[in-house]
Structure 1
């Protein structure tokens, strides 16, 4: 993603970015892989009856695992030249799972909105069939949209996530990514989350108290904040880098700042993989009761003292 120019030297910027990548990405990889593998195990083995929510969470955990598995390859081939086809596949794997995560998070938010806004209809319609179909569509569309990644480089071999061709930074493409990949999901997230918060704070029924007691209000707020923190900077950075590639930003120091910003924002976007796994736990009693997480902890002698 870095910009190269005859007028500007990006050596120091890239060096700092690589240091940050190693310092943040390695802990993210280890912690995220452990947490999401545990989540997949719990969802697939200990959830008595699959529901829409469990299907979405399984797909979200799977997307996070695949993205995490691409990180070591991303780190290695961002400093070492790789065959074009391999590098394009690594980039596609990274971006596909980033956007699958975004859309699955949106699906979970919409599902919660339906259940809170229309509790009887929402609880009655918990069949996982529609969720499976939606997830299949999300995965298929994401992989189809990643196909241009295979022609977005100037030469072969090349270093991954570098030397992207001008086609990759064309205005129509970047505008499409920003609108369909971020702004529309963000608008849906904000609307559904705001509606959910308003309903939970103003509805005076017993059902509302039960939902609040399960921590839904906290989960909704945390989920929205995590989405904003993880995905807003990287999409802002992509927009700024597009301006650089379109020669609308010429100042060298500003180019260097944007180059560092886009690399750092991608690093912090990866933290979403860990935060998603923590989000599963903070789904409060609902998650622990349905997955029998307490029994899992009791079955392990190391954690047995904590089960009480």
Structure 2
């Protein structure tokens, strides 16, 4: 079982496929590096400095931005590896980068589902849910990180010791698994890490849309209705674009590399398509800040030019006052 593409064993894959996959990863990760870094740094700045106390789902958005930023910070090492076909940073750094990739993906899935559920319940049961303490949200986020962290441990732990110190990521050799073990792991990963959150997101989207069309909806303001639905719909859009393609090819990738007899055409097709879907799964670190911008008025206002200039002026005045006092 593998999240990326292939193992170090040259008998399993051709050099052509390896070069193709390295090119795909290097180009895509280079393209999303700068936008992802800037977008998530700005997101954290806005959330912490301005709207932490005003938006109901902001705690989930902060954690989502942290997950995205962790992945972005690991991209330079990945780009270096795929461009140079060599990993000079040691086994520990390789395992950390490999692990962070999947922690980010499944943490993003968890927090997108949490944002959708939060907004849905706030619309459907506003009087009952608006009084929920923020402490519950923080505990839920902590639970999410623990759950995702433990759930992603098989990705690095199933990689066995290897002699080639320049090999990393999906090209690390896998431990030998029986067919039953492999199928069980893939099934659990698909059900808990993908199908369950997908069901939550799509259900919340449908319930929110239905609730906002009701005349008895508590949120009578048309603008508020539109913003609420736009947030839930954006979460569903990011989920469908980034994570659905990967989780469709994930079991196919396992099947292509297993001992099950499949045609060579099937293997080649999967090994060419799966890296593209994995890149789409990384695209969420750029799409999430866009979602914040277009679904949160306060976020958009604070990133407008007048707001940024005003903020800089206040910081300059504070610095000047401090210098005068000294």
Q: Scaled by the length of structure 1, what TM-score is found?
A: 0.86
Relative to 1, partners in 2 of residues 1:244 and 1:208: Cα closer, same or farther, differing over 3 Å? Answer: farther
**Structure 2 SS opposite 1:282:** helix
Relative to 1, partners in 2 of residues 1:203 and 1:22: Cα closer, same or farther, differing over 3 Å? Answer: farther
Q: Give matches, 1:1-308, under 5 Å.
A: 1-3=4-6, 9-47=13-51, 49=53, 52-78=56-82, 79-81=85-87, 83-125=90-132, 127-154=133-160, 155-156=162-163, 157=165, 158-166=167-175, 170-205=182-217, 207-210=219-222, 212=224, 214-285=226-297, 287-288=299-300, 296-299=307-310
Q: Residue 214 of structure 1 contacts residue 285 of structure 1 at CA under 8 Å; is this kept in 2?
A: no
Shift of 1:193: 1.0
Relative to 1, partners in 2 of residues 1:131 and 1:50: Cα closer, same or farther, differing over 3 Å? Answer: farther
- The worse-fitting range, judged by mean Cα deviation, of 45-54 and 83-92 is 45-54
- The worse-fitting range, judged by mean Cα deviation, of 179-188 and 7-16 is 7-16
Residues paired across the two proteins, number:
299
Larger Rg belongs to: 2
Cα distance in 2, alignment partners of residues 194 and 239 from structure 1? 28
Q: Residue 64 of structure 2 contacts residue 107 of structure 2 at CA under 8 Å; is this kept in 1?
A: yes
Q: Residue 288 of structure 1 contacts residue 294 of structure 1 at CA under 8 Å; is this kept in 2?
A: no
Shift of 1:14: 2.6
Structure 1 runs not aligned, ≥5 long: 302-308
**Structure 2 SS opposite 1:221:** helix
Relative to 1, partners in 2 of residues 1:149 and 1:226: Cα closer, same or farther, differing over 3 Å? Answer: closer
1:57-100 CA-partner distances (Å, limit 9, x unpaired): 11110100001111222233453245333222111111111111
Stretches of 4+ moved more than 4 A in 1? 4-9, 166-169, 211-214, 286-289, 291-295
Shift of 1:241: 1.1
Cα distance in 2, alignment partners of residues 107 and 14 from structure 1? 37
Q: Residue 30 of structure 2 contacts residue 79 of structure 2 at CA under 8 Å; is this kept in 1?
A: no
Relative to 1, partners in 2 of residues 1:199 and 1:50: Cα closer, same or farther, differing over 3 Å? Answer: closer
Structure 2 runs not aligned, ≥5 long: 313-326
Give the corresponding residue for 2:318.
none
**Structure 1 SS opposite 2:53:** coil
Cα distance in 2, alignment partners of residues 66 and 228 from structure 1? 22
Cα distance in 2, alignment partners of residues 128 and 249 from structure 1? 53
Shift of 1:102: 0.7
RMSD between aligned residues:
2.6
Cα distance in 2, alignment partners of residues 263 and 233 from structure 1? 11
**Structure 2 SS opposite 1:182:** helix
1:122-160 CA-partner distances (Å, limit 9, x unpaired): 2222x3211111111111222223333343224243322
1:168-211 CA-partner distances (Å, limit 9, x unpaired): 78111111111111010001111111101111123354624445
Shift of 1:50: 5.9
